[in-house]
Structure 1
């Protein structure tokens, strides 16, 4: 009984993480860029410009911003430029608008 509950919990957790990963995958020209909080806006802007993107918007936290680029490999270039996390803009719009 315990092993069946553990298996069900494990499968549910794995499926949830997989679903979140698919939904959060950056697609389209607009992405949310998260950089090191210690670097503030300077680090965030350096990552965006270093990846060849354009700054669009930032909210309460200067290390989180929305950036835009038409390049298909923009997300991977952001990671190479120092971004910690790059998310789908559509997923995070509701979180950022209240800032």
Structure 2
């Protein structure tokens, strides 16, 4: 089994429910589909799979709590997509458009 996994949420189109997918980080092959977002659910699943050593996740604090509760020695990695998106948003939002455009090599239309 894999030592690395990823916790992702899936929202099904036209449905009112969300599921959480746990997959192998190396191959993206699904390992489990969790029914909810509660930390207890993630904790229970990880306790049944003690071989997992590294988990990639987004910034949801419930994931962090569930992983820590199951095994504090599991390394938690913030996933690349959320890191880049949050870094970009925190850099762009405080600055007005007139300041951003020259940095991007663009000019403001009059």
* Structure (1/2) with the larger strand percentage: 2
* Structure (1/2) with the larger helix percentage: 1
Q: Which has the larger radius of gyration?
A: 2
Normalising by the smaller structure, the TM-score range is: under 0.3
What TM-score do the two structures reach when normalised by structure 1?
Answer: 0.26
What TM-score do the two structures reach when normalised by structure 2?
Answer: 0.25
RCO higher in 1 or 2 (8 Å CA, sep ≥ 6)?
1
